[in-house]
Amino acid sequence: MDHSAALDALDLESSRLLIAASTGASLLDTPLPTCPGWDVAQLVRHLGLIYSRVALVVSGRRTEAPDRSELPAAPEGEALLGWFAEQRTAMLAAFEATDEDTLVWNWSATNPGPTSFWSRRMAHETLIHRVDLELGHRFEPALSDPTLACDTVTEFFELFYPRFDAQLLESGLGDSMHLHATDVPGAEWTLVPRPGGSEITREHLKAAVGLRGSAFELACWTWGRLPTRRLETFGDLRIADRFQEVVSV
């Protein structure tokens, strides 16, 4: 996903998230089952602080992480929503004013990296947390753009899955898995766990378990927001279930 498309997706998904959160201050304490221990207010505060940190990094062309003391304090109650909207506006403005190739700090192995790392990362972070809010309010999550959802799956395997590679193998069910998005041509991922590093390809290959669904459904599944039984499945479902248990962010 290129920088421009990521910014468009971030603008849309962050506005959707704000709408989902703005159902009344009395609902800010609504628990979020997909974020154990959190309520709506805690998620909004969490994401608002991330937005403010990214705005500092991008606008200041920083190559070191900002200190937490530099971040604005989040208010309590309904004022939290206005504060979140301000952080959103500041972050989007910082992206618009900065070239996508400008090198800035990030937490990945390629640090510093281009500003486009953050536009992409924030689009995916926002999408998944928007789903958290909608599920917490017992809404059926609104579908995202399929291209964004596909890249959400790709980024998950690039940045987050490697943290759990060894643990999945140790579980005894770390066998091959194939994901196939039905609404985007060529959107497939095959995971083959191996000692020393899994192999992840974008090919159509036979695997011990296969999962088919829309790109949005697969994005939600990889992030643990959709149960395996909501997808079309083939093969040993224990592998898919164990993946969700172990690979949890």
CATH number at residue 205: 3.30.1050.10
- 66 and 166 both lie in a single domain: no
Q: Does residue 163 sit in the same domain as residue 128?
A: no
Mean pLDDT of the chain: 95
Instruction: Give the pair of three-digit tokens for residue 179.
Output: 């994901």
Q: Are residues 123 and 217 in the same domain?
A: no
109 lies in a domain? yes
**Of 106, 136, 166, the domain-final residue:** 136
| Domain match, 24 and 82 both | yes
* Residue 163 CB contacts under 8 Å (≥ 6 apart), including other chains: none
Residue 169 has what pLDDT? 86
pTM of the model: 0.95
pLDDT of 24: 62
User: Does residue 143 fall inside a structural domain?
Assistant: no
| Domain extent for 191 | 148-246
Does 240 lie in the same domain as 159? yes
Continuous H helices in the chain: 3-21, 40-59, 79-96, 116-136, 146-155, 165-170, 215-222, 237-246
- Intervals of the chain under pLDDT 70: 24-26
Distances (CA, A) of 93 to 11, 96, 99, 231: 11, 5, 12, 38
Identify the domain boundary among 136, 166, 188.
136
Structure tokens at 211: 């999962």
The partner residues of 114 in beta bridges, in order of sequence, read 103
**Which residue reads 């149960």 in tokens?**
227
Say what the pLDDT of residue 174 is.
78
